[in-house]
Structures are given as structure tokens and as C-alpha cells.
Structure 1
Amino acid sequence: MKTIKRIEEIFIATCLIIATVILSINVVLRYGFAANPSWVEELVRYLMIAITFIGSAVCFRKGTHICVDFILTFTNKKTTRILNIAVHILTLFFLTVLTFYSSYLVILTFQSGQLAPALGIPFFFIYLAIPIGTILSIIHLIVATPRIWKGEAEVAGSTPEVMEES
């Protein structure tokens, strides 16, 4: 799990740095030299898609996704734990469906050979961020759910970093 954690964080940091540097250079080119490469916007958009899906997995690992915890403030610890496990199970179901359909999308775009207009890279590389992010999220939820059941981890409505310890 430590290797996955490290890869996720390095990937996100690298994508953020690349997007920031490229956008900064593009601003200088646009306003200083009236040049605006068409591929910059496209690349940054695809980087942000990857950051979103991989970053979502990181949020599942850390337990920092936003949640409505108003009801949880009125329940005891056992009920809160049960509600959180139910939310984890529903989220696992949703992520499983999303993984299935996003994998299907990757296969379709691979078979079609569709390319990104400005960058000319195959679209399936871009769409791979979705199933990879959902699979990582599923892994983190599978690790976290038994820990919440056993009472070893904090639950939603309390402190973040619940799943970071593993």
C-alpha cells in the first residue's frame, strides 16, 4: 500500500507541476508574443482529468471526501459506524459499475484508434485515468471498510486521515 500511495502522490504532483508550468508559459506566449499553441489547452484538460480520478482515490485513502455529516452528529458511535459502512458499500457498487463502463470506453476507443485533435495521442490513454482511478478507489475502500467495522479507524464526521495508517 505504501508503494501505491507514493505512486499516486508523485503522479498527481507531477501532473500539477506540468500543468502549471505549461499554462504559465502559454500566458507569456499569448500576451507577450501573440502565440497560442492549440495543444496546451488540450494537454492541461487531460492532465486535470487524470488528477481528478487519481486524486479521488487519494481522498478515499485519506478519508477526506466531502460528506454530509449532519445526521451523524445525532447518532451514537455504533449507528455512525453502520451508516459509514453502508455508504462504503454503496460507493463500492458505484465504483464497480463506473470501472466496468469506463473500461468498456477504453476498449472502444482503443479499437477505434481515435486520436486527440491537437496532441495526436490515442484517446484510450486519456480514458485510462478513469478505470485506474476507480480501481485505486475500490482498493482503498476495501482496506478501509473492515477497519471502520472493527472500530480501528475514525469514521466520516470526525477527523480526516482515517485510512492513512495502513
Structure 2
Amino acid sequence: MKNIPQASSIATVLPVVNGDNIVQEIDARPDRELLESTGDAVSRVSNILAAVSLLLITAVNVANVVARYVFTSPFAWAEELMIYLMILIVFAGCVTATWHQIHIRIDMLTVLLKPRVQVVVNVVVTAVGVVALALIIKASLVSIERLYRFEQLSLALEAPLWIPQSFVSIGLSIVAVMMAVRLWVPRRESGSHNSGH
């Protein structure tokens, strides 16, 4: 099937309208480079957090198995800790997936639209997504405030419950910002820097 050009951001529609020179101008803009490098850095940190969390889950799980079947004394807090780490993995992964735009998207109809219309649709969809995330973040912050105020602790770890709850708020807040930034800073396709050689 023939590939149909897409214009998924405000910036990507410009080369369709005004020519390829605009792309070079946009790519060279200092604000674009700053946003791109900042997003890449945040994505890398999120990847590291997810990887470290996965390693910790593996280590805790192995240690708990040994403690249970060798010493008949399993760790009561192991499952709880692994659940909290899995929550961290999920929302750290969401940050990376959003920035690199590798999340699941259904674009069966939007790819058939004209570039200008694609941009309008993408802006509307992103705006709706950011508003939805803002509502979830607001509810999550209320929950965090209550957990912190009443000093509620987890059953096994006896850790403050507002800490794992904050993974949700922080992760979704970063995702919302990245969604908005991607409207202005479209994802570079692999090999796009070498396309002129």
C-alpha cells in the first residue's frame, strides 16, 4: 500500500504549504532544539526509572522465593513493594511512549485527510486528551492531599501511601505536557537528518 504523508503537528504542515526549506528552518530553531533535548532527557530518565524498578522487582521476587522455600520465612512486604514498583514502571513508560509517539493510535481515517485537516484533528484530539488528563490529575492530587494529611500508611511496608499515589499524578502531568509540546515539536523520523545525503 502506498504511504500517505501525514501532518501530525502544527509544524509538520508547513512543508506541505510552503516547501522543504521551512523544515530546515524549523529544525534549526533554538526553541525547538531545547524542547527536543529536554524531552529526550526526560524520556531517558523515565527509561532508567522503569529499568531500575524492573530490576528491583526481579531481585525482590527472587529473594522472597528463597526466603519462603529455603528459610520458610517470606517477606510480608515483598508483594506490596513490587506492586508499587509496577505502578512506577507503568507511568514512567507512559512518559517515554508519549514523547516518542509509540503509543497505540488508531489513524485509519485521519491518514486519508488533507494535511491541514490532519493538523486541526490532531490539535483537537490533543486538547481533549490534555483536558481529560487534567481532570484525572486533579482527582489524584486530592487523593494525595488526603493521604498526606491523615498520614495513612501501607499495611506491610508501613510506607506513606501518598508516595505511590504521586507516581500517577507526576507521570500523567509529564504526559500532558509532552502531548502539548509534540504539537510544536514533531517527532523526527529516523534518518531524517541524513535524508539530504
TM class, shorter-length: 0.7 to 0.9
Structure 2 CA distance for partners of 1:153 and 1:13, relative to 1, 3 Å: closer
Q: Among residues 10, 26, 34, which one is paired with 2:72 in the alignment?
A: 34
Amino acid at match of 1:22: V
In structure 2, C-alpha distance between the alignment counterparts of 1:64 and 1:83, rounded to whole Å: 19
- TM, length-normalised to structure 1: 0.81
Q: Among residues 85, 92, 108, which one is paired with 1:47 in the alignment?
A: 85
1:135 CA displacement: 1.3
Match of residue 16 from structure 2: none
Match of residue 66 from structure 1: 104
1:49 CA displacement: 1.0
In structure 2, C-alpha distance between the alignment counterparts of 1:91 and 1:5, rounded to whole Å: 20
Pair 1:103 & 2:125 matched: no
Q: Among residues 102, 124, 127, which one is paired with 2:162 in the alignment?
A: 124
Structure 2 CA distance for partners of 1:15 and 1:145, relative to 1, 3 Å: same
Amino acid at match of 1:69: D
- Work out whether residues 101 and 187 of structure 2, in 8 Å CA contact, stay in contact via their aligned partners in 1: no
Pair 1:115 & 2:153 matched: yes
- TM, length-normalised to structure 2: 0.69
Structure 1 unmatched runs, 5+: 161-166
Amino acid at match of 2:133: L
1:73 CA displacement: 4.0
1:38 aligns to what SS in structure 2? coil
1:28 CA displacement: 2.8
Query: Which shifted more, 105-114 or 55-64?
Result: 55-64
In structure 2, C-alpha distance between the alignment counterparts of 1:95 and 1:4, rounded to whole Å: 19
Pair 1:91 & 2:122 matched: no
Amino acid at match of 1:133: G
1:93 CA displacement: 0.5
Pair 1:145 & 2:183 matched: yes
RMSD: 2.1
Percent pairwise identity: 24
1:70 CA displacement: 2.2
1:55 CA displacement: 1.6
Structure 2 unmatched runs, 5+: 1-37, 191-197
Match of residue 16 from structure 1: 54
1:137 CA displacement: 0.7
In structure 2, C-alpha distance between the alignment counterparts of 1:123 and 1:13, rounded to whole Å: 23
1:21 CA displacement: 1.2
Query: Which shifted more, 31-40 or 120-129?
Result: 31-40
- Work out whether residues 8 and 54 of structure 1, in 8 Å CA contact, stay in contact via their aligned partners in 2: yes
More helix by share: 1
Which has more radius of gyration? 2
- Work out whether residues 110 and 122 of structure 1, in 8 Å CA contact, stay in contact via their aligned partners in 2: yes
Match of residue 80 from structure 1: 118
4+ aligned runs moved over 6 Å, structure 1: none
In structure 2, C-alpha distance between the alignment counterparts of 1:78 and 1:33, rounded to whole Å: 66
In structure 1, C-alpha distance between the alignment counterparts of 2:112 and 2:173, rounded to whole Å: 33
